[in-house]
Structure 1
């Protein structure tokens, strides 16, 4: 089994969707720099992400859409027909200088991750996780659907079953669409109820492939531990997957501006730790996350768990400097702990009766499909 690998790229450094877009922040570069200053990312564990070729992208996306995306990047504009058909040039999915190369690099990282875990192992691809991308259109800041293309590569390599676990605050509608009715991919999504894209209801089954758990605002670490133990882990373990793909979106953290959940980054670390023994292969991607400090700390903590490193109680000065150098177009500064520590204080609380009831319903469903 290979040692853990971190996949990154220079293309993320300085690349933003626009000055006031939620993805105006630096995410992968901050994680890379923070991990390096902690001594957790020696060159032997780092791989540069290739850019996926257009033909690889058509494993899920239409040729017309891939060509439209490439053309839009080259021209730095789109016409109304392309905007309406392909969702390009919108407020969510704007025209920007790397609008094709950046997502194609994220997909390339996912495809490389699949190759790296062929014989076993674990890989972190923080630039991946774009779970809203549709076959013929961009959606929800996602120009290409990296998780779908990565999991299809795993299946094409001969793996029989892949478990997809998504703890992003937003439902993974593009992934669910791609594997509707599949007996080879089991999808488990925990996401905020009544949050865009307004899919992923508890009753949604997607042909039996999906287990959706919409959770209420304020969803806390105690509730996450309960869901992890009583729903996520049994759903994965009974599937006996050859590989696990964990979409580790950081927008479920309490400080994120685009959701209203209340997790600490300890829940993300706990998910990696609990899932890792359940399959010989694991890929951990990024995803949502729109507060620069919480994203950088979360995905670095996740990498630390993957790499077998122990988080310090207080960050060394070099690591603290990485966090203090981050900028955000929103006013105000974060609390001091977001500069000086890596792991959040646990955010514990009561487990709601509604959550217990919903998990019980999913447990009943799981018994029917095992």
Structure 2
């Protein structure tokens, strides 16, 4: 089968690789559509921290935002999965440690991550093997584009939940990229008044086109009380800015990860009585994202600026924007129009 393989920083190609086999407890999914995100770019450039601390190594097969159709099941798996449209959890815990047993499999010390960690092959390929327990069925109301947006949506939903936003609250989302805009959409669906803080005029204009009139640069940001602040940026200075801006007694959520350490004055947390929440992974938000997409309360398809074939992934990761690309920040990869059947 075809798979996108990164062999070294800046070096990648579509290769023929052995097809996955459904081991006991696993399924094989024919991938229809997948997303490309900042983590994939970091792997391609060689900057991803996992490459430097031994949690990942080249050659590697990326792709952790995906949807497809189950084509084969291993021993012990209900054959009713065959033919079903699905997406899945990226974070695959060991299942036996205390963290996994307490529902924290996404931070299991021995976890693998599809297309990210511990050599688990990703979904930028014709097929991918996934543990059956990690599958999430997609209803008919969630089309392929939405299906491939469930994983980033689950992350964003967890950020909004972490901010403890309620109807009538005023939220500030820092960073109007894919995750930031998704968080803004989920916060708006929860009834919050949502503002965004960014740098790039084009990104801010796109946010306004989505109905977020309050999209600001730092020197324009109004002096308002922010009941929850979500930092979805990758700027090292923004965690401190988020803490500075959030209302005392409320919550600041950190979901963006900078390439270098950030400095935050811990005294401010105590003196403002602020709760800080970190978000890693979509696991606990996947079902909620699917439900929001199915109901139409959140529809992020406009965020997909372009769709490329598998052979076009390397140029996208290298920073090239496809011809005719729209203003949306997310890029998708079309791998199969229809399930191949097995």
Instruction: State the TM-score bracket (shorter-chain normalisation).
Output: 0.3 to 0.5
Greater fraction of residues in strand? 2
Q: Under a length normalisation based on structure 2, what TM-score does the superposition of the two structures give?
A: 0.34
Q: Under a length normalisation based on structure 1, what TM-score does the superposition of the two structures give?
A: 0.32
